[in-house]
Structure formats: structure tokens, C-alpha cells
Structure 1
Amino acid sequence: MELILIRHAESTGNAARRAALRSGAEVIDVPERDPDVPLSAYGREQALRLGRFLAEREPPDLIISSPYLRSLETVRLATGREDIRLDERLRDRDMGAFYRLTPRGIRQRFPEEWRRKQELGKFYFRPPGGESWSDIALRLRSFLRDLPAEGRVLVSAHDAVIFVFAYLLDGLTEAELMELERTSVANCSVSHWRDGERLVFNEISHLER
């Protein structure tokens, strides 16, 4: 079994979040609901670069994507294939009442929840109406059980999902996962496991050519 995970390319939401953080805003200017956030123009270029990288390697036997638009657009542009299976267990973390808020916005609007997050830690903290990282782990355990025993599987998903895949596949502790999370998973990066052994994590050389 080979599992190749890609994080979706830059979305308009990623760009809007960076702009909000630079300006000190409390709210990220994203008009769409989370499943409908598309790729940015730069994100589409990233996906094409990823496609050239993947074309130099053995093609996957199976492609599975989060149903969120930014993930599906990425893998379609990168592979040119239409036989892509959608699986809602790969969706991005549901941020509940925190959606569209910057860290500053969360502190200002939900001070008690902010303090609870600091006490409980990111892995187990669940935003109001949202998911914790441990919730993601539960759905990914189910996803991994349903994969074929052999073959090359390409997965298009989101940064939190890829971190939790590493937690499960590498047998990390909560502390080890939080240490890994200190380095962000880049847009359109590639992470690769074969028979449970990690070969590469957060590979971005194809974007720097």
C-alpha cells in the first residue's frame, strides 16, 4: 500500500486569511461557505506544477478527494482525471462558530472559549459547533480501514487532515503531533507513506522549480 497525500493548492480563503492577519482584522473576508471556497489564481498554477511532478511518477490506482471544492479542483488540475472518488471523511476541520475568525477575533468574541482552548490543548478542544483534532482522528481511522490492502492511493485533503494522518500512520503521541504541527503543511505539498513507513512529509520542491 502506498498513500500519497496532497494538501489543496492555495485557495481564496488562504489568501484572505493572510490579508486579515496582516491588517489585524477579526474577521476573514470569505463570502462562501467553507465547502465552496475555490482556488486562487496562484493556487491553480500550483496545482499545475504539482501535476508536472506527479506525471514523472507512477500513476495512482485510486484517487480520493475531500468533497470541498478547493481539494477537488486541485486534484483535477493536477491529474487531469475525472475518476475521482469523493469521501466526506477527508473534509476540512469544522471550525463551528470560529469559522471566518482570526485568532484575534476568537479572543475578542469568545474569551471563555479561548481560555478553555489554552487549558485543554488543540488536540481535544472543540470549538462551539465544531470539531476537535481527535474528532478528525476518529473519521480518518474509519477511512484507513476502508482502503484496499494494496495499491497506490492519491488523497487530496486539508492541512489538519494531513497532520492527523501523520498522527495515525506514524503512531505519534499528542505531544509529538503538536510538535509536528509547529511547521505548517504547505499548500500543494506532498506527503508519502509506503506500507506504513513515512517516505516524505510536506515536500514542496516541485513548487520551487
Structure 2
Amino acid sequence: MKENGGTREGMTGRPARNSPPGMTELLLVRHGESQGNVAATTAHQSGAHAINVPARDADVELSGAGREQSLALGRLLAGFPADRRAAVWSSPYLRARQTVELAIHTGGGQTQPLLDERLRDRELGILDMLTSAGVEARLPQEAERRRWLGKFYYRPPGGESWADVVLRLRTLLADLDRLHPGQRVLLVCHDAVILLFRYILEGLTERELLDIAASSAILNASVSRFVRPGGTGPWQLESFNMADHLMSEGVPVTEHAGDTNVHPR
């Protein structure tokens, strides 16, 4: 699946006019399939109220398929020209760290990934480990509030809204531009984070972002690519949610979508 991205004037994550050049290419990778992905999908399909995950979210490991996907990702990265190897940053969550470590080892690279908590998954607070059915049954007032506000602005008690995540990603982008001028940068993170990078870099509206979220599941170990020749000006989306490197090797392509009921009521 390939998609061309548009841009708008405004807060799109690009440097201000007359600022020094920054990154020229940004690769966004979702971590490989995790044990939590498998448990969540099983719980949703069975109508369970809770997701049976034996660890806190930050400590959930890759599944067997996730490890295969990470190795295939490493072989893709190994094909990059030596002079175009990327600086690598990762969410500190274990499933992301395992993805990048396996990929780098397989690709024969010596790069040490930089961990940054701003790339972590969205904090769910009181909703953590609950399915949609569980929220409806156990926290009906929160379920109603979530429907009313929509996914972008709904903040569960003790957690984050998508708008909150956007704020931390904007600061990260500024740091990446400052630290990696003229470079390709690869970020290993989470599905919601990748969608919110699209919101920032393309200058999407809330409606446009939620339309994408409702219709597109970010595949495990997929790659989305933005380019900005010269390190200034608007970002262009060259490809989105690509998993050709998995399919070409016969590695499982796994789709674990979140709640698609994302628009405000």
C-alpha cells in the first residue's frame, strides 16, 4: 500500500523559515508483533473484558512472529547504502527495543539505538488492560465520555489523549532536526505514534487523522517513509505502512488494529 502525502501551512513539524536544515528522511517503523498484540486481539474476538498480559505494558515481549518480522526488517536495513545508514531511535518499551536490537544485529550494523521515552506508546491510565467491551461494562461513564470527545481529545483518568502525545512528539522532532541535520533517521515505535507523526508532518486536521485511523491498521514491522530534500520545507509522505520486506520472505504479516470507533459522536 502506497500513499502520497499532502502538506499544509502551519505546525507541521518542519523548521521555521530561515532555520538551519534538519533531517532529510524519516523512517517510521512499528515494532514487531508482541505478546500483548496477540492477547488483545484474542480478548476482543472472544468478548472478554480484560486482556491477559503477564507484564506491564512497558515490559511486554515480542511474539515468535514478531521476532521473525524484526529479522526481516534487519535484512531490509542491511540493503541501505553504507553512506545512507540511518541514525536509529527507539521507544524504551521492550517490544520496540527487541525489534530494533534484532534488526540491527541481523543487518550487521554497529549502530546503538538511542532510547527516548517520548516515543513510548500512549498511556491508557484507568483503561489499561481493558477491552472495549470491558470499558463499556466496568466504566460506562468513561465509555460515554470517550464516544463524546472522540479518540483525539479523550484523556482517560491517569492516561493521555492523542493530543497529549502530539505535544511530546513535536519536541522530539525539534531535537532530531538539531541532532541529525542532513541525515536519515529511523524511529521504532508504536501504531498510534506513527499515526500522530502523520498528523504533525502532513498538517492533517483531526477529521483527516481519525479517518485514517478508522480505515488503516498499522502493520507490525511495517515501514512508513517521509522525505524532505535539503532538510527544509514541507515533508512528503513517500510510502505508508509498507510490509513488502515481510511478504517477499514469507514472514507473517500481522494486523492488530485498535478501536476503530474513533470519531466524536
Please tell me the TM-score bracket, short chain as reference.
Answer: over 0.9
Please report how far the alpha carbon of residue 24 of structure 1 lies from its aligned counterpart in structure 2 after TM superposition: 1.1
Give the secondary structure class of the aligned counterpart of 2:145.
helix
Counterpart of 1:18 in structure 2 is 41
Counterpart of 1:172 in structure 2 is 204
Give the secondary structure class of the aligned counterpart of 1:149.
coil
Contact 1:191 1:200 in 2 (8 A): yes
Aligned length: 209
List per-residue Cα deviations over 1:123-148 (Å, max 9, x = no partner): 00001110000001000000001113
TM-score, length of structure 1 as denominator length: 0.97
CA–CA separation in structure 2 for the residues paired with 1:150 and 1:92? 28
Question: Could you tell me the percent identity over the aligned residues?
Answer: 50
Counterpart of 2:243 in structure 1 is 204
Counterpart of 1:188 in structure 2 is 221
Contact 1:13 1:37 in 2 (8 A): yes
Please report how far the alpha carbon of residue 150 of structure 1 lies from its aligned counterpart in structure 2 after TM superposition: 1.7
- Give the superposed CA RMSD: 1.1
List per-residue Cα deviations over 1:35-90 (Å, max 9, x = no partner): 10010111000111111122222353411000000001101111224511000000
Give the secondary structure class of the aligned counterpart of 1:181.
helix
CA–CA separation in structure 2 for the residues paired with 1:193 and 1:128? 34
CA–CA separation in structure 1 for the residues paired with 2:167 and 2:85? 25
Contact 1:60 1:154 in 2 (8 A): no
Q: Is 1:77 the counterpart of 2:102 in the alignment?
A: yes
Contact 2:87 2:111 in 1 (8 A): no
Unaligned runs of 5+ in 2: 1-23, 229-234, 249-265
- 2:186 corresponds to which letter in structure 1? L
CA–CA separation in structure 2 for the residues paired with 1:70 and 1:64? 14
Please report how far the alpha carbon of residue 2 of structure 1 lies from its aligned counterpart in structure 2 after TM superposition: 0.7
Please report how far the alpha carbon of residue 149 of structure 1 lies from its aligned counterpart in structure 2 after TM superposition: 2.8
The structure having more radius of gyration, on CA atoms, is 2
Counterpart of 1:36 in structure 2 is 59
Contact 1:193 1:199 in 2 (8 A): yes
The answer to which of 96-105 and 56-65 deviates more is: 56-65
List per-residue Cα deviations over 1:142-186 (Å, max 9, x = no partner): 000111332010100000000000000011000000011121111
CA–CA separation in structure 2 for the residues paired with 1:44 and 1:174? 34
